[in-house]
Structure 1
Amino acid sequence: MSIVFPPTAAASAATTTMKKKKRDHHHHYKHNGSIIVTIKNRIASVVHHVLFLIHRRRQLFPLVSTASGFLLLFFVAFSLLSTPPPLVMRQHHRHRHRHHLLQHQSSFNIGVTVESNFDQDNIFRIPKYGGNLDRDLWRTKDSKYYYGCSDPSKNFPRANVKTHPNRYLLIATSGGLNQQRTGITDAVVAAYILNATLVIPKLDHKSYWKDTSDFAEIFDVDWFISFLKKDVAIIKELPKKRGGRNLTPHNMRVPRKCAPKCYYSRVLPVLNKKHAVQLTKFDYRLANKLDTNLQKLRCRVNYHALHFTDPIFEMGKILVDRMRMKSRNFIALHLRFEPDMLAFSGCYYGGGDKERTELGSIRKRWKTLHVSNPDKVRSLGRCPLTPEEIGLMLRALGFGSDVHLYIASGEVYGGEETLAPLKALFPNIHSKETIASKEELNPFSSFSSRMAALDFIVCDESDVFVTNNNGNMARILAGRRRYFGHKPTIRPNAKKLSRLFMDRNNMTWVDFSSKVQTHQVGFMGEPNEGKPGRGQFHENPVSCICEDSEAKAREGLTPLLIPQKQTNEFLNLGEVSHQQRKDNSEVTTDDDWLDMDYLDNAALLQGKDVHTESYLDNDSLLKPDSFVVEELFSD
């Protein structure tokens, strides 16, 4: 159903003013034209009268003849150099105006009629206010019937009865804060699979992000160990050998999406022999699909065990409180639009030769990248939305110009010029730098992961979370917000929206907004949006979302799931047993594009197999290109 947004008073006034200016211009021209015609007629009359007198009296003098010739020449020249008829001028003006629109397709005049590129009758009017929709913008439907459930089952073996006394697992994380978070979560599960004691993970100090923070400087290490003590034994450092010598771990690497059988066959024999193994570059090294009990362990780690340190938490709380002081509800936008990301993505944003030259020079850093096909990348929905496109999407979904936005972003390609369309649509834009003083941010500003943690807290606490990308922060926050009450989380359906944005100047705003709302069904953070078993588990933790069937029954609604007869627990959404899956492979694969990160997407577009890797003990032997690319686009 199309939503009709009535023009505002400002829009009507602006339209009337524009029409009045056109009428005034036309009347002014007609007045000037009348004066010119009058002058021409008088000159012609004078010349005609002089010639008539000369002819009758036959008193021809050379001086008079010369003067007459001069007057005739003057009359001809004046006629040729005079202004063209009004109709021609209006046609020429219309042509120039149309050419201007073709060069500048952005529609930033809020509430003002914007002329279509191809059809004079096609009007794209952006309303100042979002309009009245048949839903609550700040809540998801039916969220009260679902809740996070990650407690272990009664038959889940505990750490004190299964941990081998002489097995120690270490991991070295990779990438930005949120990619490292996925590695920490999976490391706990890997230690459980191997019946090993986990040593507190090492954070990445060498990547693109250049952050020297240790685990204990970002996360509450004592809480982490205490909360998980029944699941996995965790220690802060390796014990010494008998005699006081240090125990040296053996470095190795496992494939991405390594299933439990993969750990049994590749890691366990080495662990039994060396007693201590460090898994390097530990990011997405555990299968996406696991047994339900292991998935629940993932949730306990990610949503309950990983707490930020008190300084980070307190500063994050201050930022949230200040946003609440500005507005009862607010949107948090995670905006990834850095020059490096755009260059690597291979997308084109209409900046002409300047954009092609700038991003092309950056793209040359990665010698393994082929020439991109921007149209193909965009058609697959792999191009991050621009700030303007995010703003148009939010307005089409019903959010008005009075809404306050918190932006979590790095460097934006094009700077303020790129952000201007978004600010025109939503003037109330904030960031941690604008709502906190430099002195308040000083303890964090030199550490990218700690600054990212502050943004994480504000985005997590926001009433609506929006992203223009499918990176790790967007995925983890999407899963976390589902687990803690299905708070609205808007992920653009970029594959469908990309063509709509390109064609927006050829349709009315009502048609545009209606199509945006249709395309975004299933991408708003509602319960049961994702199909069980599809997508990244961190983004859609279906094994940890339970349905309150009794609450539904009390309100006369039909439960989707049938309670288990043996216990009072409810069946988990998307729960599939290990036997039912019959998956005997060591390395799992997923067909969903939403599973892939930016590096994997680019590799697939170039015809490469993202699951073919070298599992070397020495990280230095790997090509540096692969490290920088993954680190840059991980969060």
Structure 2
Amino acid sequence: MKLYYQSHRGRSALAGLLVLLLPIFFPTLFSPFSHASPSLFSEWNAPKPRHSRLLKSALQRETSNGLQSDLWIPLANQGWKPYAESTSATTLPSESNGYIQVFLDGGLNQQRMGICDAVAVAKILNATLVIPHFEVNPVWQDSSSFMEIYDVDHFINVLKDDISIVKGLPDEFSWSTREYYATAIRDNRIKSAPVHASANWYLENVMPVLQSYGIAAISPFSHRLAFDNMPKDIQHLRCKVNFQALGFVPHIRALGDALVERLRYPPSKISLGDNYLREYTDANDKQGAGKFVALHLRFDKDMAAHSACDFGGGKAEKLALAKYRQVIWQGRVLNSQFTDEELRSQGRCPLTPEEIGLLLAALGFDNSTRLYLASHKVYGGEARISTLRNLFPLMEDKKSLASSEERAQIKGKASLLAAVDYYVSMHSDIFISASPGNMHNAMVGLRTYSNLKTIRPNMALLGQLFLNKSMVWSDFQQAVVEGHETRQGQIRLRKPKQSIYTYPAPDCMCNA
């Protein structure tokens, strides 16, 4: 169905007509376009392996002991360490200039960046920050609040010497709610904050609002503070928020610790439906701690549709994704003008479960590797994951590791589910992501800060390798190993315009 990937006007028009007419003639096929449920197409038509030649060799692979042991060696000291504290020991002014409210959209990790920036803006303006409000996520329909995800008392206490933070507004400002700003234009709402605004922009445009009304509500706020040309103390404060102040609530940490324990020291288990009867090994058997890889497999329908790539599900899948793209993204997916081959050769297609499995196998991970699958809904369900599971039969996730009782507090809450994945991933021996995104960026930054091994897939190289259908396993493996030698957690200094949260050196770290 190249109709959806060509730039010719005639073909694009015909494709658009098909997208509009198909739901009319086949309404039952197009009704279940829920963000949270996998497409029925992918369940009816289980995708066949796209790289069967490589897959056959990977399933028969024999990993050398040297290659396997090298993978698990922790990163050597690279000469960088986190700043212990802000270099300037400032004290809070006696009076605040007013209250700052921010309304954050996006998922867990986009909101996390927004929180860090909100603290920085409050510091710039000498304002009191109101605990940020999280918008309902339009994709996952999640209404989780800041206090449901993060330990708010810890957050306030860590930052008490930097800015003033309140959990709620005093009575005289109780009118300042999300609903209030949704009903009309309000003079104290800032809607004009440019992307990556400077500190001076806030002093010139938001400070007068604070002085006039005593409160300023900034929405939208995502990516509304620049990464460059910021005072050092502001940069250090952003780092402090991200790496020290934002701790998860106790029950998230407790569940995360339990999952990490079960990954490192697998108990014997007897399946009892959705629960497990677990018999833990004796403490004396725990002298050799197990290791595991955390794999962030962001392969949901939203990502698949937005990438405009072909994932091997046939005509039905292409039609389903095209319809989703038209309805949800309304023609804003610019990548759709390129062919699938062009997108893959440019590294612009997320890796499928099959492809990330082949990457891991080529790097040297064998079928005894314990894999933690950090993911929400995988597009195509178990049928899509089965190839990855065949390569790595010791693959686990939240559902397989935790009982239904343990999952009860996070059930149906996408942000809390993501928080558990975040927590387990930051405690893994190795982290790898199947596609760039906010989770990938957040984890790369955190693990750089802590000098932990993180494999960053070379997307362009892999795209070109997977397009070569005649490549034999030995050549594929050699190309993969060579192409990832310098992509396993080595320090990469932040370049202009790059995120401080993805590249914490040198803003958050010093060269010891």
Q: TM-score, length-normalised on structure 2?
A: 0.78
Contact 1:110-1:128 within 8 A present in 2 as well:
no
Contact 1:335-1:468 within 8 A present in 2 as well:
yes
Amino acid at match of 2:70: D
1:498 aligns with 2:445: no
1:514 is matched with which residue: 447, 453, 478? 478
Question: Which residue pairs with 1:611 in the alignment?
Answer: none
1:103 deviation in Å?
8.0
1:106 deviation in Å?
4.9
Instruction: Give deviations 1:542-592, integer Å, cap 9, x for gaps.
Output: 1112233xxxxxxxxxxxxxxxxxxxxxxxxxxxxxxxxxxxxxxxxxxxx
The 3-state SS of whatever aligns with 1:189 is helix
1:136 aligns with 2:70: yes
Question: Which residue pairs with 1:488 in the alignment?
Answer: 453
Amino acid at match of 1:349: F
Decide whether aligned partners of structure 1 residues 220 and 399 sit closer, same or farther in structure 2, where only a CA change above 3 A counts. same
Question: Which residue pairs with 1:54 in the alignment?
Answer: none
Structure possessing the higher radius of gyration over alpha carbons: 1
Q: Distance in 1 between matches of 2:63 and 2:409?
A: 40
The 3-state SS of whatever aligns with 1:364 is helix
1:530 deviation in Å?
4.2
1:420 deviation in Å?
2.1
1:446 aligns with 2:424: no
Q: 447-456 vs 516-525, which deviates more?
A: 516-525
Question: Which residue pairs with 1:171 in the alignment?
Answer: 102
Instruction: Give deviations 1:88-138, integer Å, cap 9, x for gaps.
Output: xxxxxxxxxxxxx998745333567xxxxxxxxxxxxx5142552397312
Question: Which residue pairs with 1:48 in the alignment?
Answer: none
Q: Distance in 2 between matches of 1:428 and 1:184?
A: 36
Where does the alignment leave 5 or more consecutive residues of structure 2 unmatched?
1-47, 178-187, 267-288
Question: Using CA pairs below 8 Å that are at least 6 residues apart, which structure has the higher relative contact order?
Answer: 2
1:423 aligns with 2:356: no
Amino acid at match of 1:539: T
The 3-state SS of whatever aligns with 1:238 is coil
Question: Which residue pairs with 1:263 in the alignment?
Answer: 202
Equivalences for residues 350-369 of structure 1 within 5 A: 350-365=312-327, 366-369=329-332
Q: Distance in 1 between matches of 2:170 and 2:219?
A: 20
Q: Distance in 2 between matches of 1:136 and 1:304?
A: 31
Decide whether aligned partners of structure 1 residues 111 and 525 sit closer, same or farther in structure 2, where only a CA change above 3 A counts. closer
Decide whether aligned partners of structure 1 residues 467 and 147 sit closer, same or farther in structure 2, where only a CA change above 3 A counts. same
2:399 is matched with which residue: 421, 429, 433? 433
Contact 1:130-1:399 within 8 A present in 2 as well:
no
| RMSD of aligned Cα (Å) | 2.4
1:151 is matched with which residue: 59, 63, 85? 85
Amino acid at match of 2:90: P
1:325 is matched with which residue: 265, 270, 275? 265
Contact 2:195-2:225 within 8 A present in 1 as well:
yes
The 3-state SS of whatever aligns with 1:231 is coil
The 3-state SS of whatever aligns with 2:409 is helix
Decide whether aligned partners of structure 1 residues 102 and 319 sit closer, same or farther in structure 2, where only a CA change above 3 A counts. closer
Question: Which residue pairs with 1:539 in the alignment?
Answer: 502
1:410 deviation in Å?
1.9
Question: Which residue pairs with 1:464 in the alignment?
Answer: 430
Question: Which residue pairs with 2:370 in the alignment?
Answer: 404
Instruction: Give deviations 1:167-198, integer Å, cap 9, x for gaps.
Output: 11111111111111111111000101111111
* Number of positions where the alignment pairs a residue of Structure 1 with one of Structure 2: 426
Contact 1:247-1:276 within 8 A present in 2 as well:
no
Contact 1:170-1:279 within 8 A present in 2 as well:
yes
Q: Distance in 1 between matches of 2:382 and 2:238?
A: 40
1:231 deviation in Å?
0.8
Contact 1:251-1:279 within 8 A present in 2 as well:
yes
Decide whether aligned partners of structure 1 residues 196 and 492 sit closer, same or farther in structure 2, where only a CA change above 3 A counts. same
The 3-state SS of whatever aligns with 1:147 is strand
The 3-state SS of whatever aligns with 1:523 is coil
Contact 1:132-1:398 within 8 A present in 2 as well:
no
Contact 1:228-1:301 within 8 A present in 2 as well:
yes
1:478 aligns with 2:478: no
1:256 deviation in Å?
1.5
Decide whether aligned partners of structure 1 residues 534 and 203 sit closer, same or farther in structure 2, where only a CA change above 3 A counts. closer
Contact 2:493-2:504 within 8 A present in 1 as well:
no
Q: Distance in 2 between matches of 1:425 and 1:519?
A: 21
Question: Which residue pairs with 2:16 in the alignment?
Answer: none
1:283 is matched with which residue: 217, 222, 246? 222
Equivalences for residues 54-69 of structure 1 within 5 A: none
Contact 1:110-1:425 within 8 A present in 2 as well:
no
Decide whether aligned partners of structure 1 residues 209 and 229 sit closer, same or farther in structure 2, where only a CA change above 3 A counts. same
Contact 1:255-1:285 within 8 A present in 2 as well:
yes
Q: Distance in 1 between matches of 2:100 and 2:453?
A: 38
Equivalences for residues 209-248 of structure 1 within 5 A: 209-241=140-172, 246=174, 248=176
The 3-state SS of whatever aligns with 1:511 is helix
1:252 aligns with 2:190: yes
Q: Distance in 2 between matches of 1:104 and 1:147?
A: 42
Q: Distance in 1 between matches of 2:294 and 2:449?
A: 18
Contact 1:130-1:400 within 8 A present in 2 as well:
no
Where does the alignment leave 5 or more consecutive residues of structure 1 unmatched?
1-100, 113-125, 549-635
Equivalences for residues 28-177 of structure 1 within 5 A: 105-110=52-57, 127-129=61-63, 131-133=65-67, 136-143=70-77, 145-154=79-88, 157-158=90-91, 160-161=92-93, 164-177=95-108
Contact 1:522-1:529 within 8 A present in 2 as well:
no
1:210 deviation in Å?
2.2
Counting aligned pairs with the same residue, the percent is 37
Contact 2:54-2:472 within 8 A present in 1 as well:
no
Decide whether aligned partners of structure 1 residues 133 and 108 sit closer, same or farther in structure 2, where only a CA change above 3 A counts. closer
